[in-house]
Amino acid sequence: GAGGGAAMAEDEALVSVDYEVSGKVQGVFFRKYTQGEAKRLGLVGWVQNTSHGTVQGQIQGPSARVRELQEWLRKTGSPQSRISRAEFSNEKKIEALEHKDFQILK
Protein backbone atom coordinates (compact mmCIF):
# COMPACT_ATOMS: atom_id res chain seq x y z
CA GLY A 1 0.00 0.00 0.00
CA ALA A 2 0.96 3.61 -0.43
CA GLY A 3 1.68 5.60 2.69
CA GLY A 4 3.64 8.55 3.97
CA GLY A 5 6.79 8.52 6.06
CA ALA A 6 4.96 6.75 8.88
CA ALA A 7 4.58 3.54 6.88
CA MET A 8 8.12 2.40 7.62
CA ALA A 9 7.70 2.69 11.37
CA GLU A 10 4.39 0.85 11.07
CA ASP A 11 6.09 -2.06 9.29
CA GLU A 12 8.73 -2.23 12.00
CA ALA A 13 6.26 -2.16 14.90
CA LEU A 14 6.14 -5.47 16.77
CA VAL A 15 2.81 -7.23 16.67
CA SER A 16 1.37 -10.42 18.09
CA VAL A 17 -1.41 -12.34 16.38
CA ASP A 18 -3.12 -15.68 17.01
CA TYR A 19 -4.03 -17.94 14.12
CA GLU A 20 -5.97 -21.09 13.35
CA VAL A 21 -5.77 -22.93 10.05
CA SER A 22 -8.45 -25.37 8.90
CA GLY A 23 -8.39 -27.95 6.12
CA LYS A 24 -6.08 -30.88 5.52
CA VAL A 25 -3.36 -29.55 7.79
CA GLN A 26 -2.48 -32.45 10.09
CA GLY A 27 -0.17 -35.29 9.06
CA VAL A 28 1.25 -33.19 6.22
CA PHE A 29 4.24 -31.64 8.03
CA PHE A 30 2.31 -28.39 8.34
CA ARG A 31 3.87 -27.50 11.69
CA LYS A 32 7.40 -28.20 10.49
CA TYR A 33 6.94 -26.02 7.39
CA THR A 34 5.29 -23.26 9.42
CA GLN A 35 8.24 -23.27 11.80
CA GLY A 36 10.68 -23.16 8.89
CA GLU A 37 8.88 -20.26 7.23
CA ALA A 38 8.62 -18.34 10.51
CA LYS A 39 12.35 -18.77 11.15
CA ARG A 40 13.16 -17.66 7.62
CA LEU A 41 11.18 -14.48 8.26
CA GLY A 42 12.76 -14.00 11.69
CA LEU A 43 9.49 -14.43 13.58
CA VAL A 44 8.85 -16.05 16.96
CA GLY A 45 5.85 -17.85 18.40
CA TRP A 46 4.49 -21.36 18.30
CA VAL A 47 2.36 -23.85 16.36
CA GLN A 48 0.45 -26.94 17.43
CA ASN A 49 -2.17 -29.41 16.25
CA THR A 50 -5.57 -29.19 17.93
CA SER A 51 -7.85 -32.07 18.88
CA HIS A 52 -10.38 -31.00 16.26
CA GLY A 53 -8.11 -31.29 13.23
CA THR A 54 -6.85 -27.74 12.85
CA VAL A 55 -3.48 -26.14 13.46
CA GLN A 56 -3.23 -23.13 15.74
CA GLY A 57 -0.61 -20.89 17.23
CA GLN A 58 0.75 -17.42 17.67
CA ILE A 59 3.09 -15.25 15.60
CA GLN A 60 5.13 -12.32 16.89
CA GLY A 61 7.51 -10.00 15.07
CA PRO A 62 7.70 -6.89 12.86
CA SER A 63 4.27 -6.35 11.35
CA ALA A 64 5.45 -6.52 7.73
CA ARG A 65 6.96 -9.98 8.34
CA VAL A 66 3.94 -11.14 10.29
CA ARG A 67 1.79 -10.17 7.26
CA GLU A 68 4.01 -12.34 5.05
CA LEU A 69 3.53 -15.36 7.28
CA GLN A 70 -0.23 -14.71 7.47
CA GLU A 71 -0.34 -14.72 3.67
CA TRP A 72 1.70 -17.95 3.63
CA LEU A 73 -0.67 -19.58 6.15
CA ARG A 74 -3.65 -18.51 4.05
CA LYS A 75 -2.39 -19.59 0.63
CA THR A 76 0.66 -21.84 0.78
CA GLY A 77 1.22 -24.07 3.79
CA SER A 78 3.13 -27.32 3.42
CA PRO A 79 3.27 -29.05 0.00
CA GLN A 80 0.66 -31.72 0.84
CA SER A 81 -1.67 -29.48 2.82
CA ARG A 82 -5.04 -28.23 1.60
CA ILE A 83 -5.95 -25.03 3.42
CA SER A 84 -9.67 -24.28 3.54
CA ARG A 85 -9.48 -21.36 5.94
CA ALA A 86 -6.99 -19.34 7.97
CA GLU A 87 -8.36 -17.18 10.74
CA PHE A 88 -6.43 -14.52 12.64
CA SER A 89 -7.44 -13.00 15.95
CA ASN A 90 -6.20 -11.04 18.97
CA GLU A 91 -3.87 -8.89 16.92
CA LYS A 92 -2.10 -6.33 19.07
CA LYS A 93 1.04 -4.25 19.22
CA ILE A 94 3.62 -5.43 21.71
CA GLU A 95 6.65 -3.70 23.23
CA ALA A 96 8.89 -6.75 23.10
CA LEU A 97 8.79 -10.34 21.82
CA GLU A 98 7.34 -12.78 24.34
CA HIS A 99 8.97 -15.88 22.82
CA LYS A 100 12.63 -16.70 22.21
CA ASP A 101 12.06 -18.63 19.01
CA PHE A 102 9.36 -20.40 17.00
CA GLN A 103 8.44 -23.70 18.59
CA ILE A 104 6.34 -26.69 17.67
CA LEU A 105 4.21 -27.57 20.71
CA LYS A 106 2.88 -31.06 21.23
Q: What residues are labeled active site?
A: 31, 49
Q: Please name the helix (run of DSSP H) or strand (run of DSSP E) that holds residue 4, with its range, or none.
A: none
How far apart, in whole angstroms, are the C-alpha atoms of residue 99 and residue 42?
12
Q: Please name the helix (run of DSSP H) or strand (run of DSSP E) that holds residue 22, with its range, or none.
A: strand 14-24
Beta carbons of 62 and 12 less than 8 angstroms apart? yes
Radius of gyration of the chain (CA): 14
Chain-centre distance of CA 18, in angstroms? Answer: 8
